[in-house]
Amino acid sequence: MEANPRSTGRLPAAFLTPGSSSFMDFLGDHSPDLLPGRRTLPPVQGAIQAPHGTTIVATTFPGGVVLAGDRRATMGNMIAQRDIEKVFPADEYSAVGIAGTAGLAVEMVKLFQLELEHFEKVEGAQLSLEGKANRLSTMIRSNLGMAMQGLAVVPLFAGYDIDREKGRIFSYDVTGGRSEEHGFAATGSGSIFARGAMKKLYREDLTEQQATTLVIQALYDAADDDSATGGPDVARRIYPIVTVITDEGFRRLTEAETSEIARSILEGRLTQPDGPRAALL
Amino acid sequence: MSTPFYVSPQQAMADRAEYARKGIARGRSLVVLQYADGIVFVGENPSRALHKFSEIYDRIGFAAAGKYNEYENLRIGGVRYADLRGYTYDRDDVTARGLANVYAQTLGTIFSSAGEKPYEVELVVAEVGASPEGDQIYRLPHDGSIVDEHGSVAVGGNAEQISTFLDQRHRDGMSLAEALKLAVQALSSQSNGNDREIPADRLEVAVLDRTRPQQRKFKRIVGRQLARLLEADGAASTPTDAPSDDETDEATTEGTTEETGGTTGAGE
């Protein structure tokens, strides 16, 4: 084992100790330096300049949940990356979208995916959706020290609850506080505008097709008013990432599907730049 | 007489090997076969929940015969090894060869260390490649040696006889249904010629399917899908009354009930 130079090549004791089904616990025992939460940052003056991911939105519909994110990462007033991906499958029935420090967030997602997969392999059964949401909470809390220095990671977690047979959304704050959102949710710098848009457009009887349109509308409105959120980029063919989770599992919409929705939205905005109007009364 | 009791090293090793082999022979046999689209694991297992086959990583599967608590321990160790390696480097850097090496070192050290009782297990580590040429199957006997196998392999009680049976009949490019049927035939064949029938609900079947679109290629085949495969080509295995030599495996499954309870409770 690379992690144990003194070993004779046999698996070190930590590997064969029965008990925990958690990969993070194992990592904490065996090689704690690999855990993101164990790092301490030297004292620094002011904010650290690192790419930040921006807006993530989610909405439920009867039969599932949609989670989507824009593609922009910013560093100060500069666009750090135009085609960053911020929405990832966590396992077959859940997905996580991240806003905040991109580098830390991607690492956190990688560890979170592994945590769920590891549990599933060791136990032979999946964690409950609540269990997964709690696990993510712990990971965010362990990043609190970094968050205090400006390197926060704030995800949005969405999944299909097989026991309750419905899609559910969980939102988080930097301290790891977790709350279940009903209907729709948004996180990141453009979330205020996205949430405003969704508030007016959301209905309880959305179809899957309507739900995917709703999230792209919301991202468009976020990009409209927030400089850190990127709208659909027709010239470069960069469209938001839209994922749908139903009882059939996780599915990411293809570029052809999202571009079609994005184009029809752009078409509508040519005549109505502020998007569809909700009834006044 | 105060002369220290002398046992020659050869004798000591032979005794340990004998001990381990007897333990393994008490367990039911299982077979691992290559077929056109991957690798299939077939074994007789009355339990639905306590598996002999399991997923280690994206393309790697694990099969074990022998004492449950010992191979379960090795299985979890393997999952931890693979996940840690994939996390530190990349998912592509986790290979069956690396895992088999670690298992061999572990089994070998335990086997030759006088302070520990040898593990009564025989493992198979298999990795499915992008094409049949890329498939790898390693058999790991109790003493830490590695055997690189091709086509088919059997471990457990009747391993030798089943291997011979399979070697004569297995060919490359079999369909899943064909490979499964051959495996069931091999498992139910007996030296005295009185072949017994193994009903579908006592079979544990899993595949590493290279055509699966997901990253993780391991899949259990259960229920209707299994029945359909067994009945393909019209050759159904009709369930008959179970033979009397059933009790042999109870020793291996006995300790497992507690084991499962323990692991579930520990999942914090």
Residue by residue, what is the 3-state secondary structure of B49-69? CCCCEEEEECCEEEEEEECHH
Chain A residues with CB-CB distance to B88 below 8 A: 2-3, 34
Question: Nearest Cα to B152, choosing from B107, B187, B199?
Answer: B187
Whether chain B has a CB inside 8 Å of the CB on A117: the answer is yes
Choose from A1, A8, A11 for mutation: most chain B CBs within 10 A: A11
Q: CA A49 to CA A151: how far, in whole Å?
A: 9
Of the pLDDT bands very low, low, confident and very high (cuts 50, 70, 90), residue A71 is very high
Nearest neighbour of B79 by CB, restricted to A19, A27, A121: A121
Q: Coil, strand, or helix at residue A170? A: strand
Our CA-based measurement puts residue B90 at a distance from the nearest CA of chain A, in whole angstroms, of: 11
- The stretch A254-279 carries a mean pLDDT of 94
CA distances from residue A10 to A72, B98, B103, B107, B125 in whole angstroms, order as listed: 46, 12, 7, 8, 16
Choose from B62, B71, B80, B112 for mutation: most chain A CBs within 10 A: B80
DSSP structural state of residue A174 = T
Lowest mean pLDDT among A27-36, A55-64, B169-178: A27-36
Residue B148: CB atoms within 10 A of its CB come to: 10
Please write the tens of the pLDDT for every residue from A117-175.
Answer: 999 999 988 999 999 999 999 999 988 888 888 889 999 999 999 999 999 999 999 99
- Among chain B residues, the shortest Cα distance to A13 is held by B77
Of the pLDDT bands very low, low, confident and very high (cuts 50, 70, 90), residue A32 is confident
Whether chain B has a CB inside 8 Å of the CB on A33: the answer is no
Any idea which residue has 């084992």 for tokens?
Answer: A1
Q: CA B19 to CA B29: how far, in whole Å?
A: 18
Our CA-based measurement puts residue A143 at a distance from the nearest CA of chain B, in whole angstroms, of: 19
Burial class (CB in 10 A: 0-12, 13-18, 19+), A155: buried
The pLDDT assigned to B252 comes to 37
- Among chain B residues, the shortest Cα distance to A135 is held by B268
Q: Which two tokens stand for residue A137?
A: 């909470």
Q: What is the DSSP string of A259-270?
A: HHHHHHHHHHHH
Strands (E) across A49-152 are located at 52-53, 56-61, 64-69, 73-75, 78-81, 87-91, 94-101
Tell me the domain boundaries of chain A. Answer: 49-271
- Among chain B residues, the shortest Cα distance to A8 is held by B105
- The stretch A27-40 carries a mean pLDDT of 82
Whether chain A has a CB inside 8 Å of the CB on B101: the answer is yes
Nearest neighbour of A121 by CB, restricted to B55, B85, B108: B55
The pLDDT assigned to B195 comes to 75
A17, A54, A101, A254: the catalytic one is: A54
Lowest mean pLDDT among A182-186, A224-228, A256-260, A275-279: A275-279
Share of chain A above pLDDT 70, in %: 97
Whether chain A has a CB inside 8 Å of the CB on B80: the answer is yes
Q: Which residues of chain B have pLDDT under 50?
A: 234-268
Share of chain A above pLDDT 90, in %: 75
Give bridge partners of residue A270 from the DSSP assignment.
Answer: none
Question: Nearest Cα to A55, choosing from A66, A38, A42, A68?
Answer: A68
How many interchain CB pairs under 8 A, A with B? 89
The pLDDT assigned to B1 comes to 59
Please write the tens of the pLDDT for every residue from B10-50.
Answer: 998 899 999 999 988 888 899 999 999 999 999 998 888 88
**What pTM does this model have?**
0.86
> Is the per-residue pLDDT at A36 higher than 90?
no
The pLDDT assigned to B231 comes to 86
> Is the per-residue pLDDT at A44 higher than 90?
no
HSE-up of residue A68 (Cα within 13 Å, Cβ side): 33
Q: What is the amino acid identity at position A242?
A: V
Q: Looking at domain A49-271, which CATH architecture does it have?
A: 4-Layer Sandwich (3.60)
- Bridge pairing between strands B147-149 and B136-140: antiparallel
Q: CA B96 to CA B124: how far, in whole Å?
A: 10
- In the residue annotation, A60 being an active-site residue is answered as no
Question: Nearest Cα to B155, choosing from B18, B48, B33, B13?
Answer: B33
Q: Coil, strand, or helix at residue B173? A: coil
Flag if A18 and B105 touch (Cβ within 8 Å). Answer: no
Q: Which two tokens stand for residue B15?
A: 């005794």
Give bridge partners of residue B207 from the DSSP assignment.
Answer: B40, B219
Q: CA A265 to CA A218: how far, in whole Å?
A: 11
Q: CA B200 to CA B231: how far, in whole Å?
A: 10
Tell me the domain boundaries of chain B. Answer: 24-257
Flag if A25 and B268 touch (Cβ within 8 Å). Answer: yes
Our CA-based measurement puts residue B268 at a distance from the nearest CA of chain A, in whole angstroms, of: 7
Flag if A10 and B110 touch (Cβ within 8 Å). Answer: yes
What are residue A168's phi and psi, to 5 degrees?
A: -135, 150
- The stretch A72-80 carries a mean pLDDT of 93
> Is the per-residue pLDDT at A49 higher than 50?
yes
Answer yes or no: CATH 3.60.20.10 is held by domain B24-257.
Answer: yes
* ipTM for the whole complex: 0.86
Chain A residues with CB-CB distance to B216 below 8 A: 117
Flag if B73 and A18 touch (Cβ within 8 Å). Answer: yes
